[in-house]
Amino acid sequence: MRVRSHKLVLAAGLIALISVACGQLSSSPPAWTVAEVEVLRSLWLDSLSDLPADRSNAVADNPVAAGFGRQLFFDARLSANGGISCATCHQAERGFTDGLQKAQAIGTTARHTPSIVGAAYSPWQFWDGRRDSQWAQALAPLEDPNEHAIDRGQVVALVAEDADYRASYESLFGALPDLPISDPLALNMAFANIGKSIAAFERTIMPTASRFDAYVEAVVNNDIDHQATLFSDDEVWGLRLFIGEANCTQCHNGPLLTNHEFHNTGVISFPGDVPDKARIAGVAEVMESEFSCRSSYSDDPDHYCPELDFARTGLDLIGAFKTPSLRNLENTEPFMHKGQLATIAEVLVHYNQAPDAMIGHNEAKPLGLSDRELGQLEAFLATLASAPSF
């Protein structure tokens, strides 16, 4: 009898403990502090500054160029087999990615298709920043044997021989030289102009306000009732982790949730590949690139190129890839530079563990978050879903 009563007391105590613990876990998050509200405001899409001017591209903000560029972007004639356009890999319905680990066009490319949403805000293009403008970026896949696999002569000829394209081109840039163009500088200039038109379209591909942005608006307005209708407790806890303990905003900061910089986060190599050197090779390439800000194909007479002038080099950049935006991750898996991680849950586990990098040094440190906390982070990230506009 005495034994039984002890057991009863023990059981009651356990139940009390468990209920306290559960109460703790499911309790409502505390109100945001003034400092936290400022952090949230900094991530809000409304805080996004005006599109930075591209001094190297005179038609960057020209609607005619954007319309011409849009046609080119979706035109599969710009490829060796007539079946590959920019949109083959940059699919709007997948957040301008393709759902594959490595991109598949004429061949298989070296890396995963990055999203191009909001890319006009980045000083660097590609995962390793090997181009310094959107127009220079747009030219590279056209001539890549694994992507469009054509050459600049074919690109310019296509534009010259299509009456609509020729009219658009000539209204923007003046008369096209007669075909075939024997002067390489004239050919390069025409090729660069076509890239500038594609870039003018790509500049218009922008993220749109998500449920997260509505929530921040409610926070900024101190509208607590509205906050509760927009975010579940788990999503709020996830957001707290995102701007706090999980250290996400060290790199994923600003309204686009990226700092546009390069970081080694110790992602495992792709099967069959050696570890990717990334930015340390990319920065060497951009300095020498044919269509850089410093080239004669830039429209800036001053050749003002602070990004190139002050670009960082050095061993820190081994294995460092550009921070991608976290806006609208929905339907954009797999993730990382070669699509090594299939889901957001896998990405979160990776950052929670922060393993040693195979080459260079992993800048991230292990987080020690629980599975429940990782789930809350994942729930928060889903609130950033919102189809891009273009």
Partner 1 sequence: MIARQFVSYLLIFCFVAFLPVQNATAHGGVVEEDDLCVIKVNYLRAHFKVYQPSAAGHEQYCEDLPVAAESIFVMEYQHDSLSTMPIDFRIIRDVTGKGRFARIEDVDAIDDLEDATVYYQPPVVEPHIYTVNYEFLEEGGFIGIVSATHPETGKIYAAVFPFEVGFTGLGYWPFIIGLLLLIQFQYLLMSGRLRRWFGKEPVVAASLLVCVLLVTPAAFAESPIVTYTTPDGTPVINHMHSWILHIKDENGLGIEGAIVDVDGGMPEHNHGLPTKPRVTAELGGGDYRLEGMRFHMSGYWEIVVTITTDSGKSTVTIPIRL
Residues that bind partner 1 (CB under 8 A): 249-251, 253-254, 259-263, 266, 268-269, 271-275, 277, 280-281, 284, 306-307, 309-316, 318, 355-356, 358-361, 363
Q: By C-beta, is 61 or 307 nearer to partner 1?
A: 307
Q: By C-beta, is 154 or 259 nearer to partner 1?
A: 259
Q: By C-beta, is 144 or 307 nearer to partner 1?
A: 307
Q: By C-beta, is 69 or 319 nearer to partner 1?
A: 319
The least CB distance from residue 123 to partner 1, in Å, is 8
Q: By C-beta, is 48 or 58 nearer to partner 1?
A: 48
Distance CA 304, CA 293 (A): 8
- Do 384 and 328 touch, CB atoms closer than 8 A? yes
Q: By C-beta, is 222 or 250 nearer to partner 1?
A: 250
Residue 334, preceding peptide bond in cis (omega within 30° of 0) = yes
Closest CA to 164 of 56, 71, 59, 299: 71
- Do 46 and 210 touch, CB atoms closer than 8 A? no
The least CB distance from residue 20 to partner 1, in Å, is 35
- The label of the residue with tokens 């949230």 reads 40
Q: By C-beta, is 71 or 253 nearer to partner 1?
A: 253
The least CB distance from residue 224 to partner 1, in Å, is 26
What φ, ψ does residue 322 adopt, rounded to 5°?
A: -70, 135
CB atoms within 10 A of CB 247: 16
- Do 321 and 262 touch, CB atoms closer than 8 A? yes
- DSSP string for residues in 48-99: PPPPPP-TT-TTTT-HHHHHHHHHHHT-TTSSTTS---HHHHSBGGGTTB-S
The least CB distance from residue 205 to partner 1, in Å, is 20
Distance CA 280, CA 45 (A): 31
The least CB distance from residue 87 to partner 1, in Å, is 29
List, in sequence order, every residue forming a beta bridge with 108; answer none if it has no partner. 104
Q: By C-beta, is 267 or 377 nearer to partner 1?
A: 267
Q: By C-beta, is 287 or 385 nearer to partner 1?
A: 287
What φ, ψ does residue 218 adopt, rounded to 5°?
A: -65, -35
The least CB distance from residue 274 to partner 1, in Å, is 4
- Do 382 and 326 touch, CB atoms closer than 8 A? no
Which SS3 state, helix, strand or coil, does residue 322 take?
A: strand
Angle (nearest 5°) at CA 228 between 226 and 232: 140
The least CB distance from residue 351 to partner 1, in Å, is 13
Strands (E), 67-222: none
The least CB distance from residue 377 to partner 1, in Å, is 19
The least CB distance from residue 86 to partner 1, in Å, is 27
